[in-house]
Chains A and B, each alone.
Chain A
Amino acid sequence: MFKWKTDEFSWVDFTIDVLRVLIVLGVVIGAWNTLSSGRISLAQWVNLFAAGLSQGSIYALIALGYTLVYGILLMINFAHGEVFMAGAFTTVFFAEALNRTGFLNEQPLLSILLMIIFAGLVSMTVAILLERVAYRPLRGSPRLVPLITAIGASFFLQYTFRGLYGSGFKAYPQVKMLQGVISVGGINIPIVQIFVFCSALVLMLGLYWLVERTRIGKAMRAVSENKEVARLMGIDIDWVIMFTFGVGGFLAGSAGVINGMFRPQGVNFFMGFIPGIKAFTAAVLGGIGNIPGAMLGGLFLGVIEAIGPNLVLAGLGIPGANQLKDVIAFTMLVLVLIFRPQGILGERLAEKKA
């Protein structure tokens, strides 16, 4: 048999290096072609960027749930996308009801706030149940066992909600206040995008405050640092883990409502799967287990996903580049896992695991 590794030279490293060069070349050539052809004006770039930021802030909110759980349990809660779906899907009915009474357009901010709390609590319940039923019995088993469980839970939740609410698509009602655009220096930005970004920002700041400034946040940090020592310090580990799942679930549920405002169409039982994987990408991008990292990673992924197809793929002469948006996101996922598993901001956890 031939040898794969010698002391100086590794085929695996070599292949990965070749891959790296190819990707950089592709990106540079594609971008150069697009920019030099001038098909897309500056205003359009700004619009793409803004849309990317809003989409990214939704990813960021979901990614926080992955990161929080990973930080504490070192497990990938693969079913987190379905937690997001649970909140978004259930709240459609609430939004419809509010719309029917006319309250939604009379008091848009208050009703959106109510919807966010409602969705957050629904998702929180799902997340806590998930932890209690599926994950808690498996604590301490080899790491792939909870992952397989989580995959099972993901499909179980999808098809449960399909059974409960039906398999059709449902639409969020339009909020009048969020229609229309704001013009800044000749560039039109839809109000809803600004709204999405701002509300996500508020939620993230809230989380930051919770983790950094409160007693329970301190307990969460302690548990993620070292479970045994935290237990000795008198922290109730089970409660903290449950709380973490709850907080992650709440953020995911609120992301569901914000997503519903941003893209009113297309709420169904499968809506959480792809955003779930993308949010995981975002979490890894920022350094999984790292809270500001997840926020940054989400925004970054959103922007890349919006700009990438038009900048690189179109420049390489690939037709229908926008169809390949998801391909860009998943390629990012694979690339980050290959080249920088510790993420942009880096994280001590990743070194142990990658």
Chain B
Amino acid sequence: MNLLRSQTSKSILVLGALSGAFILFTGAVGMIAAFHEREVVDRFISLGQLLLLIAPFVTGYYAAGKLRALGEDAPVLLGGGMAIGLMTAIPSVILLLFNSDEFRFLLDLTLRLIPFVAASIVAWRMYRAGNETQAVIGIWLLVAVLVGIVSFSFALIFEIKGDLRSVLVNINRDWVEVVTFDNRKDLARGIGTFALISVAAGFAGSILFLMPAVPRRALIYGLGVTVLIGAFGETARLILQENVDRDTLREIFRRDTLRQNAALALFIISTVAGCLWAMFGRQARESFSNINVSQRRSLNIIGLAVFVVFMLALPWLIGRTLSDVAVTIGIFVLMGLGLNIAIGLAGLLDLGYLTNYAVGAYILAVLTSIGPLGLFKGTFSFWMVIPLALLAAMFAGFLFAVPVLRMRGDYLAIATLGFGEIIGKLAISDWLKPIIGGAQGVQAIPKPIFLGAELKNPEQLYYIVLVASLVCLFVSIRLNNSRTGRQWMAIREDEDVATAMGIDTARAKLLAFTLSAATGGVAGAIFAAKVGTVFPNSFTVFVSINVLSLIIVGGIASNPGIVVGAIVLIGMPELLREFSDFRFLLYGALLILMMIKRPQGLIPSKIVTHEVRTGVKPKLVGAE
């Protein structure tokens, strides 16, 4: 009993249960089976199986750190890692049993026992807390009846439906296949394999922790690089395809998957590189920071030049498919930078950002379309309409901002969300159908023409997005350090104090909304030109949520953060198609996680970091 209550076993139990719940959850929502479709290393391991391994591995590593902090020594750490591996497997194994034909009765039995067990636990705790016997019995009955209704209902559902799959659609054959490591037919063997591999992964995690620093970091680096390139094999192949001849490519990839030899070579190379970096990295950094100012300045210029050349050459380096993704990312960078003016700088949580996006897209569509809904049938070119789209979006932003100027914080967020929904419904309605085409939208939007050449490929559109993003980035950086920017930040921190300091808050807020709307309009217009058609379905609340997520994840008020956020959150689901079904699941989880663990974002802005370091609590958005 004492052993169970000790801090050590408690943390092992908690972490093991969490990791088990994670595996069970990802399985039940279908992530594991979907990821199984993508092989990381050819005929060796799939992304789904990797997911099964990563949870016990990472938890084992983390737990070892925690146990070490509790003062435990190596054998306990290793044992803990194995225990966590085992616990990770248990929930999924139970579900496997419930799902199998032979052990279905266990599910029934469990569901019928749960009410009594739950009631008894609650009653026992109440009894221990010193309640009267009558009250304890009453509670027992109450809990038993309530939980009984739920669990007996579930029993009825499963009995009538026949199996788990008819309710939980993703507890299907594919899932069983992955979890049992291809032993679907022989359940005992499958469960054994799964448990064993899971224990091994947990063990490996704790071993990794016990290694000396240099090999540990080298291994983490090597594994990380290999897994990343393996998972994004398709992307890697597309990039290499542009630069490497066909035979070499075939040596490395089988279709979109890394071959085993190539993966091994990659692992060795990256581990060696990681090893070198772990040994000499600090020296390198120190010698870099010791160089004098003029040298550093020239280095900076060289770096900038390389970066510019790289950005300009990007479409040739990565090919058409990836350029398309780059354009999408660029559009979201634009919107992220725009919305950041409202959310990050001025602290106005605007959830109706899709309004500006939609206005920009529809303005471009209606003015330039050569289809039946086009107003001018091609008289206006893309370049003439872009400023109009910008102005129209600004005007829309202004219009929607005036009524909400008096609102603060959460009311503002909900009101702007309401605006967004109104726009979405109007776009699809019959009322505006003669102008913007209702559900069919506006079609036949011509591509932009530049110096007589039609920019019809993503490689060419890329430059438009690049220029727009750079302009926006420049404006955004300048605004950050401007008088207006400081006014916004003052409003973000405390609106009443800002008013008292003589800031015209109404004006500053209007400016924030209007400027933030402008880039949304441009992004919408570019989007419309890229796709060639504008549907109302492209303008749902998900656009706003996408942009919000990338700002929060990248770092509020941090320009580099937003770019990184867009690359990760927009690029990843585009590149990893298995992922796109779970995109909003991930966004939701990330928003919660970031708010709890790292509200300043992945790449926080300097001011926010400063606030964190100096112990002033970062207010971030909407201080009250």
| A contact set with B: CB distance below 8 Å | 1, 3-5, 10-12, 15-16, 19, 75-76, 93-94, 96-98, 100-101, 114, 117-118, 121-122, 133-134, 137-138, 141-149, 151-160, 162-166, 273-274, 277, 280-281, 284, 318-320, 323-324, 326-327, 330-331, 333-334, 337-338, 341, 353-354
- Nearest-neighbour CB distance to chain A for B279, whole angstroms, equals 39
Given contacts A75-B410, A145-B599, contact A16 B403 (CB under 8 A): yes
B567 at the A/B interface (Cβ < 8 Å)?
A: no
**Of A10, A15, A16, A164, which is within 8 A of B28 by CB?**
A164
- Nearest-neighbour CB distance to chain A for B623, whole angstroms, equals 5
* Number of B residues with CB within 8 Å of any CB on chain A: 73
Contacts of A12 in B (CB 8 A): 402, 405-406, 506
- Nearest-neighbour CB distance to chain B for A301, whole angstroms, equals 13
Mask, B148-164, CB within 8 Å of A = 1, is: 01100100110111000
Q: Once bound together, how far apart are the Cα atoms of A4 and B401, in whole Å? A: 14
Which one of B280-288, B420-428, B519-527 is at the interface? B420-428
Contacts of B545 in A (CB 8 A): 151, 155
Contacts of A165 in B (CB 8 A): 167-169
User: In the complex the two chains form, is A151's CB within 8 Å of B585's CB?
Assistant: no
Given contacts A144-B413, A149-B591, A160-B585, contact A330 B422 (CB under 8 A): yes
* Nearest B residue to A316, CB-CB: B431
Which one of B238-246, B267-275, B292-300, B614-622 is at the interface? B614-622
Q: Once bound together, how far apart are the Cα atoms of A280 and B421, in whole Å? A: 14
- Nearest-neighbour CB distance to chain A for B159, whole angstroms, equals 8
Q: Once bound together, how far apart are the Cα atoms of A141 and B150, in whole Å? A: 35
B504 at the A/B interface (Cβ < 8 Å)?
A: yes
- Nearest-neighbour CB distance to chain B for A121, whole angstroms, equals 5
User: In the complex the two chains form, is B588's CB within 8 Å of A157's CB?
Assistant: yes
Given contacts A148-B548, A156-B592, contact A122 B150 (CB under 8 A): yes
User: In the complex the two chains form, is A159's CB within 8 Å of B582's CB?
Assistant: yes
**Of A5, A76, A97, which is within 8 A of B157 by CB?**
A97
User: In the complex the two chains form, is A326's CB within 8 Å of B425's CB?
Assistant: yes
B186 at the A/B interface (Cβ < 8 Å)?
A: no
- Nearest-neighbour CB distance to chain A for B30, whole angstroms, equals 5
B595 at the A/B interface (Cβ < 8 Å)?
A: yes
**Of A323, A331, A333, which is within 8 A of B430 by CB?**
A323
Contacts of B596 in A (CB 8 A): 134, 137-138, 149
Given contacts A94-B157, A117-B149, A159-B584, contact A330 B167 (CB under 8 A): no
* Nearest A residue to B168, CB-CB: A164
Report 18 cross-chain contacts, Cβ distance below 8 Å, ordered by A residue: A3-B504, A12-B506, A76-B410, A97-B157, A143-B622, A143-B624, A144-B347, A144-B349, A148-B591, A153-B592, A155-B545, A156-B589, A160-B25, A164-B28, A164-B168, A320-B431, A326-B425, A341-B407
B31 at the A/B interface (Cβ < 8 Å)?
A: yes
User: In the complex the two chains form, is A337's CB within 8 Å of B407's CB?
Assistant: yes
**Of A133, A145, A277, A354, which is within 8 A of B421 by CB?**
A277
Q: Once bound together, how far apart are the Cα atoms of A25 and B599, in whole Å? A: 46
**Of B406, B430, B548, B588, which is within 8 A of A320 by CB?**
B430
- Nearest-neighbour CB distance to chain A for B395, whole angstroms, equals 14
- Nearest-neighbour CB distance to chain A for B572, whole angstroms, equals 16
